[in-house]
């Protein structure tokens, strides 16, 4: 048996970072591991520059998500200020970019998911510094503000974290039932997509594997490594 932390994510806007090149900032259709680890770290009060604590948390958590509502795509077209490129100078943070004199204005696009809802399942590996219950308690009383990928994307409903013990991820997700009346007209359709990490005992039949570059390596330098996710589609209620 394994303890699972189960909680729901919903907001009018969410942004799950994908590989970004140049002026376009896309959003994946379901949460990235880096975003979920960031949310848990914020709840625990772990700062971005606490590299070892960030790394320890990321390595301790196995992550899975059920897409309850895919939402719709929103593309935000706006302007942004950036410094000129100079040889030998690298800006690792937005604060560093804005501290430069003579900023240039560029056109930029950012993608968001509107009215998307997800159920997240977290299991802890052996030797983890935190238990599933400690994470649940932190989500109920977070130290830092929680948001859905970007600071402009606040939560619209309580996370309702619960800890359940189950033999498989499938059993754990089936155990926790959230009230869909809180999301009238949003949770629709008869099927849902499930994504989970390879080391989890899922109980689902894998349909295919995707590779995402969302494993957090450095929060201060915005560095991410590749990670593999299994995927399948199930009938809701199974």
Mean pLDDT of 113-132: 93
Residue 223 in this model has a pLDDT that exceeds 80:
yes
Write out the two tokens for 70: 């895919």
- Beta bridge mates, 17: 27
Is the distance from CB of 2 to CB of 128 less than 8 angstroms?
no
Per-residue HEC secondary structure of 16-59 comes to: CECCCECCEECECCCCCHHHHHHHHHHHHCCCCCCHHHHHHHHH
What is the reported pLDDT for 217?
83
Q: Which residues contact 21 (CB under 8 A, 6 or more apart)?
A: none
Residue 52 in this model has a pLDDT that exceeds 80:
yes
- Spell out the domain ranges in the chain: 2-69+114-235
Write out the two tokens for 208: 């295919």
What is the reported pLDDT for 91?
84
Q: How many CA atoms lie within 13 A of 148 on its CB side?
A: 30
CATH architecture of the domain 2-69+114-235 equals 2-Layer Sandwich (3.30)
Is the distance from CB of 34 to CB of 150 less than 8 angstroms?
no
Q: State which of 51-55, 72-76, 83-87, 135-139 shows the largest mean pLDDT.
A: 135-139
- Kindly list the distances between the CA atom of residue 16 and the CA atoms of 56, 57, 105, 119, 131, in Å, as whole numbers in the listed order: 22, 19, 25, 15, 25
pTM: 0.86
pLDDT higher for 163 or 203? 163
> Which run of H or E residues covers position 134?
helix 132-140
d(CA 33, CA 216): 8
d(CA 236, CA 137): 28
């Amino acid at each position: 048996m394994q303890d699972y932390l189960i909680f729901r994510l919903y907001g009018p806007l969410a942004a799950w970072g994908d590989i970004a090149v140049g002026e376009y900032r896309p959003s994946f259709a379901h949460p990235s591991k880096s975003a979920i680890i960031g949310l848990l770290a914020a709840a625990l009060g772990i700062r971005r520059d606490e590299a070892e604590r960030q790394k320890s948390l990321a390595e301790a958590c196995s992550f899975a998500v059920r897409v309850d509502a895919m939402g719709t795509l929103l593309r935000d077209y706006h302007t942004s200020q950036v410094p000129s490129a100079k040889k030998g100078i690298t800006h690792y943070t937005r604060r560093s970019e804005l501290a430069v004199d003579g900023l240039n204005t560029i056109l930029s696009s950012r993608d968001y998911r509107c009215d998307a809802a997800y159920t997240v399942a977290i299991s802890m590996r052996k030797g983890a510094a935190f238990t599933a219950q400690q994470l649940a308690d932190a989500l109920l009383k977070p130290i830092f503000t929680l948001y859905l990928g970007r600071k402009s994307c606040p939560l619209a409903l309580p996370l309702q974290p619960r800890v359940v013990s189950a033999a498989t991820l499938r059993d754990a997700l089936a155990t926790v039932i959230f009230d869909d009346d809180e999301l009238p007209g949003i949770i629709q359709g008869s099927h849902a997509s499930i994504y989970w990490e390879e080391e989890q005992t899922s109980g689902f039949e894998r349909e295919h594997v995707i590779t995402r570059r969302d494993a957090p390596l450095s929060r201060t330098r915005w560095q991410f490594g590749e990670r593999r996710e299994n995927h399948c589609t199930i009938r809701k209620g199974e």
